[in-house]
Amino acid sequence: MNWKVLKTESDYTKASIRLMEIFHAQPGTPDQDEMEMLIVLIKDFDDNHYQLPEVDALEVIKYKMQEMNVKQKDLESIIGSKGHVSAILSGKREITLKMAKQLTNYFNLPAEVFIHGI
């Protein structure tokens, strides 16, 4: 099928269904080429039609800490002193770009979670 820019929900649905059908295409095949094209088209449609809700970086950090059983002292190597960690988690101090990079790696999250406000 010759795909073009997805303009309607119907186009989007058809492309999504087709993507699921060929998702495990073998490298170097026409299906893989089609899959790569569909990924680009679907992402473009998503970016232009859907807005993800903004997330609060502090809430994400606290959630991940709880999920991973991380204590405040465990973040000292990333954020700095005990006082810095406490100030960040209480919202009294902003997350720096350096902290954002380290938190991204530590919690395995997209950088956008932490650098939106930077």
Measure the CA–CA gap between 96 and 98, rounded to whole angstroms: 5
Query: Looking at residue 52, what is its pLDDT?
Result: 67
Phi-psi region of 108 (alpha: psi -120 to 50; beta: other; left: phi over 0): left
Name the pTM for this structure. 0.55
> Phi then psi for 69, rounded to 5 degrees?
55, 45
CATH number of the domain where residue 110 is located: 1.10.260.40
Measure the CA–CA gap between 96 and 85, rounded to whole angstroms: 12
Higher pLDDT, 88 or 110: 88
User: Has residue 109 been placed in a domain?
Assistant: yes
User: Has residue 24 been placed in a domain?
Assistant: yes
pLDDT band at 116 (very low <50, low <70, confident <90, very high): low
Q: What is the pLDDT of residues 14-42, one digit of tens each?
A: 999 999 999 999 999 999 999 999 999 99
Q: Which domain holds residue 22?
A: 9-49
Contact yes or no for 78/106 (Cβ under 8 A)? yes
Whether residue 65 sits in one domain with residue 40? no
Measure the CA–CA gap between 80 and 103, rounded to whole angstroms: 12
Measure the CA–CA gap between 55 and 36, rounded to whole angstroms: 29
Whether residue 75 sits in one domain with residue 98? yes
Query: Looking at residue 55, what is its pLDDT?
Result: 80
The CB density around residue 115, as the number of other CB atoms within 10 Å, is 17
Q: What is the pLDDT of residues 79-109, one digit of tens each?
A: 989 999 999 999 999 998 889 899 999 999 8
Whether residue 75 sits in one domain with residue 34? no
Measure the CA–CA gap between 55 and 87, rounded to whole angstroms: 19
Query: Looking at residue 114, what is its pLDDT?
Result: 80
User: Has residue 4 been placed in a domain?
Assistant: no
Whether residue 33 sits in one domain with residue 62? no
The CB density around residue 85, as the number of other CB atoms within 10 Å, is 20
Whether residue 61 sits in one domain with residue 44? no
